[in-house]
Structure formats: C-alpha cells, structure tokens
Structure 1
C-alpha cells in the first residue's frame, strides 16, 4: 500500500510527458470558434523534428506538418460553413483532442476602459446588467478574455481560455463586446467567437507596434519596462503582449473603443490611429478586414470646447483615412460626471449595425450617422446639408447645440431649424456667417438624428 502514491505519481508523470509533446497556444483550444469558409492557421510546439498530424472531424482529410528545429510548427486547414460542435485530433508522439469546436464568425473587441468594462460593472454600474446576464446562456457564443499584461518585445502566447457563454462567463466579459456578439448571433444564426483584449487608461501608442511608431519620432519607445509603475501605458507594451500573440488567429473584424486617454493630443491621435489600424491589418495578413470604432462619448465641462470635442473631430476625420472602417457615434450616451457611461447597449447596437449592414451586407439596416455634406450661405443664414440623412429630426426638441461665426471667427449661440435633410442656422449677432459648428463642447447630449435614429 505504501507504494501506491509513488505508482500514481509515476503514472501522472508519464501522462504529462505524453500529452505535453504537443503544446498549443491558449487561443487554440477547447470551445474555440474558427472563422468560417476560409483557411485558418493551427500552430504550436512539439519535439524538434517530429511529425504532427491534424484531423478535423468536419472533413476526412488529415493535415501533416514537420516541426522546425526549435520545435515550432504551423499549418493551414480549411473551414466549412458555420456549424459544429466538432473535434480536432492532433497526433505526434502523443495524442491531443480539441473538443466542442465551432465554425462561425470571429471578432476582436479592443480598446480602453469603456470597452473593457465587464457586465458585472464596478463603481460605475452597467445599465440593465442583471437582465443581460440572466439571458446569457448561449452555447453558440464563445468568449476569450486575454489577461492583461505588458511586454517590451512581442510575445507568442497569451493567458486566457475559450469559454461558452453562460451567466457566469458573460458577467466577466466586456459589456459592449458581449452584447455585440449576442446581436450578431441572433441575426446571423451563426456561432460567434469574441476575443477581448482591453486595458483601461491606455493611449493608442501602447497598442501600436515598434514598426508603426517608427514614423512618429516624437513618440519615445522605452528600452525596458522594469520598475515601471504603469507599464501598460508605454508605447508598444500592449501590442507586444496582447495583440502580437493573436495575429495568427483568423478573424472577421475588430470593434474598438479608445481615445479618452489621447484627448489632450487630438492632432497627433488623428495620425496615430489610422497608422495603428493599417499596421494591425498588415500584421494580421488577411486584408483590409472591417474595423469599426466608437467616437468617444461626451464627458466633462459643458462650457469647455477643449480636448474632448477636438478628439471627436479627429475621429470623424479618420473615417476618410481608414478604408473599410466605420464610426459608431456616441454623442448621446455620455455622462457629465462619469467618463464610464452606464449604457453599454447602445454602443454595442451601433457597432452591430455597422457589422450587419456593411460587413455582412444585410439590406434594410441603417448604420451610418448623418455626415456633413455642404454649407450654403443665404444672407445671414447658413444652410447645412447632410449625407445619410433623407430626413433629420430632433424629436421635437429645440436644437441648442449649433453655433455660428462670422469673419471674426467668434462663435455665437445660434437658432437652428430642420427642413427635411437640411438645417438652417442663424444668429442676430452674426450678419455674414462663414462657419458653423455643432456639439463642440466637452459635455453635450446629442440632439440631431437621421431617420434611422442615429446621431
């Protein structure tokens, strides 16, 4: 009897040595969702010079690959139409089986705190969170939450695991990312995989690679993160640790909400953000995948026209600089005294409208907010025209967020009236108008909507 523990220990050790022969990154595991109808990468590590065979149960073909001298291996397998669950069997010196694998649509949600905030909330609770959590048992929604970390050099793996959506797992996941997945799953009737890689209080520079930042000498990349109290805020630190390890995993697109931490340098952000998107696409190597981002929500002083309004303007301009992108306007969801707005459902819906209407081409879904088209001067009046707005509305409330300026460039509170898809703006203080602006404050609550109900 005394030998039993040693026998068990020996058997356990043997078991570990057998199954440890094939090692996989955290992203490639049980419960994962693989992008449908494409070629996806499967990769990992094993004994140098060994042969790995991969057999997905959705087809009869077996894929075989030899490991490199350093033990790494990688191959590409074809995925079918959405469905599952399937298994993927891997054979080398030992065997490994991945279970409960689905084929569907894979999206990444990324950014800072408003994207990071989980359904469970914190000191800033999430609106209707309990009801959303109560309705979170969806076996065809899978969630992968990348553990927050930083690195001065690119890593090849992250910490995390794929979980089936339940009340317990959804509770800890991005409130916006989860609800986005829920809307897509309901409309498309496909399995949806969401990869969450977020860190609060971070600037866009932290999410950019060393290569992409080489065009911006004013951004200083540290040589080390040791003894750094806030390593996640440093340029490249989050790209290296929380994006680089994802780049082999095939995705459909990205939703992004960030910019609050860059609000004091809007002109630089206007250049950095498109560079980041371009670099992510280049490094993922799967073309110009959809990249939908949220315009930062208003917050702060209602009398200030400083950084927040200018950052929103920079984000608007970036839509013309980033191909296959879209901006979810959040001008009506902010909170004056809390940068972490409670309503995470509206942003999720607006991201989903972009995905469903543009990426998936589903007719009838309005996703584009009104966009300024032209200005016509008519005496002391300025008449604004808009694209994506056959009709405009303020829901019968007076428009108080328009300002008008003359040649002296001093803006004055203006009267504004709607006529179908135009807005006429005037002020008794401005006889010869030359410019108009709208909602150009740190804190406002958007008033102007198109007939799709988008601000």
Structure 2
C-alpha cells in the first residue's frame, strides 16, 4: 500500500512538471535550423508562466537578454543580429526549463505567399508536373537555404502558432516546397552568397480577401466576414479573413527582408476591386510587421483560358487581361513594389504553368536589383510609355527597354487598333528598336491601341534581356 501511494505521488509530481513545462513553449518559427534576418533587431517570442523571468543567450555575440513574461505568460524581445553567418545557437530558459535552438543561420529571410501557383511544389501537383522539377529536387541540397511551410488552415479566429519546423534544403525537404519560392531563394543565395530563409504561407484557390482581416476589409462591401463554422463549409480558402487568421497571423512580426506574392487567379472575376484590395493588404501587412515599407514583389498572373470556367455565360469582364491590368496599376501605386510579367509561360488549358523557374527568377531579379543593388542586368519588363498618332499609323513607345525590344524575328500579330467607333481590328506591326508602328487598312483614324488583350495569349515582344511585355490597352472603354 505504501509503495502504491509513492507511485501516485510520483505520477502527480510528473504531471505537475509536465504542466509547467507545457506553459514554457516557443512557436514553430523558433526551431532548430531556423534563419534570422541579418543586421536587424530580430523579434523572438514565446510563452511561459505568467510574470516569470526569461533569459536568452545568443552564441554569435555571447550576449544575454533578461525579460519578464506578462500576466498572460506571453513574452517578446528583439535579438541584435550581425552580418550573415552561422551556425549558431540560441538558448532560452525559464527557471530550470531550457530550450536550445541549434544550427541557426543568419542571412536573408523572405515571406512567400499566395495561392496555388505559389503553393505548387517542386514535385508538382498530381498529373501536373513542374518542368525539370525532379532534376531540381535531386540537386537541391544546400545547407545555406532554410525552409519552413505553414500548413493549410482556414479558421474564424487568429491563431498564434502552427505545426511545422525549419529544415535544411535537401531532396527530402524541397520536393514538397513551393517551386516559385525555391527558384527565388536559390538565385538569391547563389548571387548574394549569403544564407537565405524562406517562410512559405500559401493556399491553392485562395482569394486575396482571405489573406486580409476584418479591419482591412471594412471599406469593401463585397467582403462578407464569416461568423460561424457553417460560413466555412464551402471554399473556406476564399472566405474573407480565414487564411489571415489560420496561416498568416502566426508569422506576423517575424523578422523578414521582404515578401513575394503570386495570387490573383481567384479574383479574376472581380478585377475592378483588385488594385484597391492589394494596396490595402500590402499597407496593412507592412503596418503589422512594423518594419516600414518592406519590399513586396509579385507575379502578374499568366494567361489562361478563364472562359472555360463560364462555358454558357462568359462575359467580357471575365477576360483576365483586366486582372493583369489591375495588378499593373497596383505595382505603380504601391511603394517599394515590383512585378514579374509571365506572358510567356501561360498555358491555355492549364492554370498552373509548368515553368516555375521564370516566375521565381524574375521575382529574384526584382529583389536583386531593387533591394540588393545588383547592377548590370535587366530586371523590368518593357512597359507602355506613349503613343503618337500620325495620319493612319500609331507609333507606340516603351519604357524599361535600355537595349531595345525584340520579337526574336517572329511576326507580331497581337496588336489591335480602333477608331472613334471603338471597334478593334488586328494591326500590322513594324518593330523598331524601341517602338512599334501600327497600321490597319480598316482604321483610317486610330485613337486606341491594345496588345494581347485576351484571356489567353502568348508573349510576342520582349526586352533584349528576355523579359516579356505585359498585355496593355490605351483606352478605358
């Protein structure tokens, strides 16, 4: 009987110890193999007994940080990080409880978010491969690239953590990681020769509104905020606020250099709102991160036959050229932003282009030039500058063509011109070094120009650096 009593006491003590230990916890973001942003005050936080003393020791500078948890047990502070390097350790303790985070690198950290074309892993989706994905996976071992993915979660209330961990890049880990984000990070790491950390937070089929909270959406009457689980029964990834709550909320505030974004396909029917939504989302994310106007680089959606989604009731507003235009307008309005044009990778009957390398690389071009100051290469696609009308011809000129434009010797058939009757006709195009001259025997007095203004079209004009020109129009009809 005495032995039985001692066993019960031992079990009670063990359970008490476990309960105390359960309160001392670090989020998934702070795990072995993690990456911290270099030369920054990198936030770190966690949970412990309320009002308890927390001690943090960092091996890169042998510094000790002492702080207290608040009345709810939450604690947070900032770690001063040096230039890139590692591996290091971070020791976090509360009384006799201690966690040692091992194999920590310091380098460049980027948030990677969006919908399925950001989510699409290097191994591809079932029946939808990524071009050269298998070979890229095989060659992906790189201790200087660290990856973490936030799992899918659409919920009503903001979460503060998730199930996941940082991992070193290897075939085992990259196969399931975002292909767009991988190509972006790989090129950054190769060119900058510093460690790169990628935080992947995306969900296929998601709307932009799902990545925004109620406060961000208060001026958008079309955004219906969910209040019950029944509201999430169908397409929870398209319900406003759900992915902000379930996936973005746990990573807000982690020290990053910037964000890459690939989304828009699920908003193509509502292009008129997209520019304002994107402006609001980006400005709000930046305010929440409290890092100023961090870089925000995004992919313009690739051409695709969206009309196939509306075989019986297709309307002109469903033409995804309007969404591409809305994204271009957002790029012009959002400070410290950049847009990767993908007119040359779209596939008519596949909304997930197999070529993910171009998107990832072009996002990296934006970062390497605008954020890291690398010079000597082209990073911007050609953009419409002006049109000059003379008699029955229109000369269209372009910006961001330092070494001219090219059609690679192929005939250019994607231009249309219209007169005052607003009827567009195919135009004959004469490509010059930095401009195009357009004519049509059906338009004697042209007033407007459109280029590849279709759901699906293949790029025809490029910069000499191989960057495609976006679809565009000069009218607002």
Mapped pair 1:133 → 2:144:
no
Q: CA deviation at 1:326?
A: 0.6
**Does structure 2 conserve the Cα–Cα contact (< 8 Å) formed by 1:302 and 1:441?**
no
Q: 1:19 to 1:87 in 2, by over 3 A?
A: farther
CA contact (8 A) 1:302 1:444 kept: no
Deviation at 1:302, TM superposition (A): 9.1
Query: Is the CA contact (8 Å cut-off) linking 1:265 and 1:307 kept in structure 2?
Result: no
- Structure 1 consecutive aligned stretches of length 4 or more whose deviation exceeds 3 Å: 5-21, 301-306
Question: Shift in Å at residue 150 of structure 1?
Answer: 1.2
* Match in the other structure for 1:268: 273
Look up the match of 2:251. 246
Q: Say if 1:208 and 1:239, in contact at 8 Å, map to a contact too.
A: yes
Deviation of 1:205 after TM superposition, in Å, equals 0.6
Counterpart selection for 1:187 from 191, 209, 227: 191
Aligned residue for 1:155? 159
Task: Spell out the pairing of 1:92-241 with structure 2 (5 A cutoff).
Answer: 92-93=94-95, 94-122=97-125, 123-226=127-230, 228-241=233-246
Partner of residue 299, structure 1: 304
My pick for the range that moved more, 151-160 or 8-17, is 8-17
Query: Does the aligned pair in 2 maintain the 1:113–1:199 contact within 8 Å?
Result: yes
Cα distance, 1:270 vs structure 2: 2.0
Distance in structure 2 (CA, Å) of the matches to 1:271 and 1:235 = 15
Please tell me the root mean square deviation across aligned C-alpha atoms, in Å. 2.1
Task: Give the Å deviation of 1:13.
Answer: 5.8
Q: Deviations over 1:348-371 (max 9, x none)?
A: 110110010111111113111101
**How far does the alpha carbon of each residue in 1:156-207 deviate from its partner, in whole angstroms, 9 at most, with x for none?**
1122111111101000000111111111111111111101111111111101
The 2-side partners of 1:45 and 1:261 are apart by 37
Cα pair distance change 1:119/1:193, threshold 3 Å: same
Indicate the residue corresponding to 2:352 in structure 1.
Answer: 340
Summarize the Cα distance change of 1:6–1:163 in structure 2 as closer, same or farther, 3 Å threshold. farther
1:440 equivalent to 2:438? Answer no
Question: Residues of 2 paired with 1:11 and 1:106: CA distance?
Answer: 42
TM-score by length of 2: 0.91
Distance 2:348 2:8 in 1: 65
Query: Match of 1:313?
Result: 325
Size of the aligned set, in residue pairs, is 453
Cα distance change, pair 64–387 in 1 and its aligned pair in 2 (3 A): same
Deviation at 1:217, TM superposition (A): 2.0
- The residue aligned with 1:284 is 289
The change in CA–CA distance for 1:175 and 1:12 in structure 2 (over 3 A counts) is: farther
Alignment of 1:397 with 2:410, yes or no, is yes
SS of equivalent residue, structure 1 residue 403: strand
Q: Counterparts of 1:37 and 1:273 in 2: how far apart (Å)?
A: 29
Q: Is the 8 A contact 2:306 2:320 kept in 1?
A: no
| Structure 1 unpaired stretches of 5+ | none
How far has the Cα of 1:281 moved from its partner? 0.8
Unaligned runs of 5+ in 2: 309-313, 469-477
Choose from 23, 33, 36 the match for 2:35.
33
Query: 1: CA distance between counterparts of 2:172 and 2:338?
Result: 32
In structure 2, how many angstroms separate the alpha carbons of the residues matched to 1:139 and 1:65? 32
For residue 420 of structure 1, the aligned residue among 430, 433, 443 is 433
Question: What SS is found at the alignment partner of 1:352?
Answer: helix
Answer whether contact 1:38 1:78 (CA < 8 A) is retained. Answer: yes
Report what 1:379 is aligned to: 391
Q: 2:354 and 2:240 mapped to 1: Cα distance?
A: 29
- Structure 1 residues 96 and 21: CA distance shift in structure 2, 3 A: farther
In the alignment, the residues of structure 2 paired with residue 148 and residue 6 of structure 1 have an alpha-carbon distance, to the nearest angstrom, of 41
Give the conservation status (yes or no) of the 8 Å contact 1:270–1:314: yes
Distance in structure 1 (CA, Å) of the matches to 2:53 and 2:90: 16
Q: Distance in 2 between matches of 1:301 and 1:166?
A: 36
Post-superposition shift, 1:60?
A: 2.3
The 1-side partners of 2:289 and 2:226 are apart by 24
Shifted more, 151-160 versus 392-401: the winner is 151-160
Q: Distance in 2 between matches of 1:191 and 1:22?
A: 30
